[in-house]
Amino acid sequence: MKFVDEFRDPAVIGHAVSEIRRLAGPSLADRGRHYRFMEVCGGHTHAIYRFGIKDLLPPNIELVHGPGCPVCVLPMGRIDDGLSLAKDSNFIFTAFGDMMRVPGACGSPLQHRARGMDIRVVYSPSDALKIAERNPGKEVIFFAIGFETTAPSTALILMRAKAKNIFNFSVFCNHVTIIPAIRAILDSPDMRIDAFIGPGHVSTVIGCRPYEWVAKKENKPIVVSGFEPADILQSIVMLLQQLRGHEAKVENQYKRAVPWEGNRSALKAMAEVFEIRPYFEWRGMGFISQSALRIRESYAAWDAERRFQVPGVRVTDPKAAQCGEVLKGVLKPPQCKLFGRECTPEQPVGALMVSSEGSCAAYYNYDHRRSEALTNIGAPA
């Protein structure tokens, strides 16, 4: 079913594409310049592959996929830690559907469910709290993941649990924050990014102000963008205009959803419940300081990590898998040795192949299959 019938104006797309070609075309000053733009958010990565936006761009514009896929950046050990709690028959483990097929060293949540553990998909943290209310004799764990888009909802649910004295509910918190990840990428010696396509829905919460240092201190343009092909193309036009004008500023292409100041109530809820972890491990990127959230002492009774024995598993990723290089944008998905062979969406080795926002899954589902189909068409019968 479609919500609306007419969905895309080819004239708008065509206009944006010709504007991009004009702006990226060689000028006397920067003859043959190559542009590398990072789309920070996995939702953008998904849209870019789905619509073949890469094919609309001139060859001197390269899109580099960023770390904005919460499932992808979660280290394997955290999954094993969370699932270790589910082994107790008195526990109900709840998580978003995105997590269900992500492999830990001892298997995915789905595989644990097949072994008889009580593991349930929820679409909202509210549902996890409801499960706790309906099962007073059980301990209900919510395995929380996500950037600032999702963290305020977890915060509000913890405030509710406290207000209603629901003590058989706790959160295993894996929330991360986007700004330190962008900083880590800019600090990484093997990265050269000219400008950023800023995340859309994270910015509904944090607003545009937190990106100002990217422009002012790092001298990199950043445009907060929507998810429609026309949005992404327009954001690329805005980035090129800034670069051609030797400017670096924060712009908001996604005004229909993102207020410049963000959502104050959501930020307040986060500040009430969470504090910054001194450091947190990101898959493929190592430990990044002050890059994640943990539950404050005042909510310790609802913090699964404080209440229960969590083994603190550290698992190194399978050696052949190059998730880290792909996450940092150093390698493109098909350049990984396992891509499409040992690692597929059906049998994922790394999380980038699981989430629809992971660049490997997006590449596999759209680009890889399309080029396979094209090859088959070209091959003699």
Partner 1 sequence: MCLAIPAKIVELLAAEESSAVVELAGVRRQIDTGLLGDDPPRIGDWVLIHVGFAMSKISAEQALDQLQALTVLGEHEAALEEIRGYEFNQSTSGNERGQT
Sign of the CA dihedral 223, 224, 228, 230?
A: negative
Closest distance of CB 327 from partner 1, Å: 15
Closest distance of CB 231 from partner 1, Å: 7
Closest distance of CB 289 from partner 1, Å: 24
Closest distance of CB 273 from partner 1, Å: 13
Closest distance of CB 252 from partner 1, Å: 13
Per DSSP bridges, beta strands 222-224 and 195-198 are parallel
DSSP 327-366: HTTSS-GGGSTTBTTTB-SSS-SSGGGTSTTSHHHHIIII
What mask, x for binding partner 1 by CB under 8 A, covers residues 52 to 71?
----------------xxxx
What mask, x for binding partner 1 by CB under 8 A, covers residues 330 to 369?
-------------------------x-x------------
Window 139 to 168, contacts with partner 1 (CB under 8 A):
145-147, 149-150, 152-153, 156, 160
Per DSSP, helices labelled H in 30-123 are 42-50, 53-56, 70-73, 76-86, 109-114
98 binds partner 1 (CB under 8 A): yes
CA neighbor of 134 nearest in space, from 171, 169, 85, 95 = 169
Q: Which residue in 33, 36, 50, 306 binds partner 1 (CB under 8 A)?
A: 50
Residue whose CB is less far from partner 1, 84 or 263: 263
Rg, Å, the chain Cα set: 22
Q: How many Å apart are CA 179 and CA 211, to the nearest integer?
A: 7
Window 257 to 316, contacts with partner 1 (CB under 8 A):
257, 259, 263-266, 268-269
Residue whose CB is less far from partner 1, 202 or 243: 202
Q: How many Å apart are CA 49 and CA 46, to the nearest integer?
A: 5
- For 225-259, give one letter per residue: b (16+ CB within 10 A) or e: bbbbbbbbbbbbbbbbebbeeeebbbbbbbeeebe
Q: Which residue has the tokens 């790092």?
A: 218
321 binds partner 1 (CB under 8 A): no
Window 163 to 222, contacts with partner 1 (CB under 8 A):
199-202, 204-205
Residue whose CB is less far from partner 1, 80 or 148: 148
Closest distance of CB 125 from partner 1, Å: 6
327 binds partner 1 (CB under 8 A): no
List Cα–Cα distances, 128 to 101, 192, 320, in angstroms. 19, 42, 36
Closest distance of CB 215 from partner 1, Å: 23
CB atoms within 10 A of CB 294: 19
256 binds partner 1 (CB under 8 A): yes
Q: How many Å apart are CA 276 and CA 290, to the nearest integer?
A: 6
DSSP 216-276: HTT---EEE--SSHHHHHHHHHHHHHHHHTT---EEES-TTT--TT--HHHHHHHHHHEEE
DSSP 161-211: HHHTT--SEEEEEEEB-HHHHHHHHHH-TT---SEEEE-SHHHHHH-SGGG
323 binds partner 1 (CB under 8 A): no
Q: Which residue in 54, 105, 107, 126 binds partner 1 (CB under 8 A)?
A: 126
Closest distance of CB 197 from partner 1, Å: 14
Q: Which residue in 180, 226, 324, 329 binds partner 1 (CB under 8 A)?
A: 226
Closest distance of CB 306 from partner 1, Å: 24
227 binds partner 1 (CB under 8 A): yes
Please give the residue ranges that form the binding site for partner 1 (CB under 8 A): 1-4, 7-8, 41-43, 46-47, 50-51, 68-71, 96, 98, 121-127, 130, 133, 145-147, 149-150, 152-153, 156, 160, 199-202, 204-205, 226-229, 231, 256-257, 259, 263-266, 268-269, 355, 357
